Copies of this chain bind each other. A is one copy, B any other.
């Protein structure tokens, strides 16, 4: 199965790249886009025969050990 992990800075942490995107979009006339923040997307394949619990446990473990800096980032798993 293909899994998406969305990694974003916690909301209280400044994310300047999103501000740059927002300003650029505003300059192009896209004024409805607000509060833009950029994060990371990690997509990966896991074996289909894993149970949901095994899958969640492996992803959580990989996020905690490598992918996510728990101090400033949070993550969300889709699929």
Q: Which residues of B contact A71 (CB under 8 A)?
A: none
How many residues of chain A have a CB within 8 Å of chain B? 35
Query: A38, B40: Cβ atoms under 8 Å?
Result: yes
B37 & A58 in contact (Cβ 8 Å cutoff):
no
The answer to whether B8 and A6 have CB atoms under 8 Å apart is no
Give me 26 A-to-B residue pairs in the complex whose CB atoms sit less than 8 angstroms apart, sorted by A's number.
A6-B41, A7-B41, A18-B42, A24-B66, A25-B62, A28-B62, A30-B58, A30-B61, A30-B62, A32-B46, A32-B58, A33-B58, A34-B44, A34-B45, A34-B46, A36-B43, A37-B42, A37-B44, A38-B40, A38-B42, A38-B43, A39-B40, A39-B41, A39-B42, A40-B41, A78-B78
